[in-house]
Amino acid sequence: MADLSKLPKDFYVTSMQFTKNAHQDMYPAIDPCLPEHSLAGKVVVITGASRGIGALAMVPAFIKAGVRGVVLLASNIEKLAATEQTVKAVNPNIETLTYALDISNTKAVEAAFDKVREKFGHADVLINAAGAMTGDGPKLHETDPDEWWRNFEINGKGNYLLIRSFLRLLPSPDTPATIVNISSWQAFFVVPPLGAYFISKYILDALATYVAEEYPNVTAVSMHPGLVPTDMLREPFRSLFNQDSPELVGGTAVWLCQEKAKFLSGRFIAANWDVEDLISRKEEIVKNDLLKLTLKGQFGAGNM
């Protein structure tokens, strides 16, 4: 691995900067409190809701956006209860549903969404914020098959099961909905020894691409959250580089639920990118099919 200490502190923002302006904290255009960003009457499902980005970024942002209901999914029932209490303390009028599960367990995911159907009928937004990187260091080497498999179970199979159950509850093929997958820009690069984690995130990006094509009523986007100070942000990244606020990530996710973000469906973005700059480049992004998974090269017999 390269000597990261020689890189500038804003490297992980500027090196992947797609918009003229970039951010590492909340800014007005993504404020979930804006009336135009209201999600009143909507129900959001947040996975990984007991810790990390799910609990610190997504839950507070969607509370501010005024959702009707919040479904909290994670494996730790005690921490889920604590997150639910946070919701109730801020806004006791928001209906909540908590369900502890392993998202790679088919029957458990289906049972959780049975509860969603019983209480809410359907959900409008799915935030896939569960992650699978484990341990105290970069152990996810190709010689550790158990770690490879666990990452694929969560980011591949688990998120597929969540998306499938979420889509099945939509009342009709015309019902608008949003799926935001928390991914990583390093899924597009070879980063040993973290192959298991980043390859599994690439699967998650592909899921967003296919959902966008097969379900035109759904906005499905993969989002790189930046370096958010959670328990998953390891050294040396935590001490060497500027960190991104949970408010930035949560606010961007709420913004992605708006009709004005629909053109980004099937694409990959970073929370650091300025959303007004993205809108100003909408025609270019759509016309040139930018920000999508692709294979570069010149193909066809005529190019030989």
Instruction: Output the CA torsion sign for 211, 213, 219, 223.
Output: positive
Among candidates 86, 88, 181, which has minimal Cα distance to 126? 181
Instruction: Name the residues annotated as catalytic.
Output: 197, 201
* Peptide bond connecting 229 to the previous residue in cis, omega within 30 degrees of 0: no
In the DSSP assignment, the letter for residue 219 is E
Question: For residue 177, what are the β-bridge partners?
Answer: 218
In the DSSP assignment, the letter for residue 154 is I
Among candidates 3, 13, 64, 8, which has minimal Cα distance to 224? 13
CA distance 76 to 49: 9
Residue 179: in which H helix or E strand, if any? Answer: strand 177-182
Question: For residue 72, what are the β-bridge partners?
Answer: 46, 98
**What number of helices (H) and strands (E) belong to the chain?**
12, 7
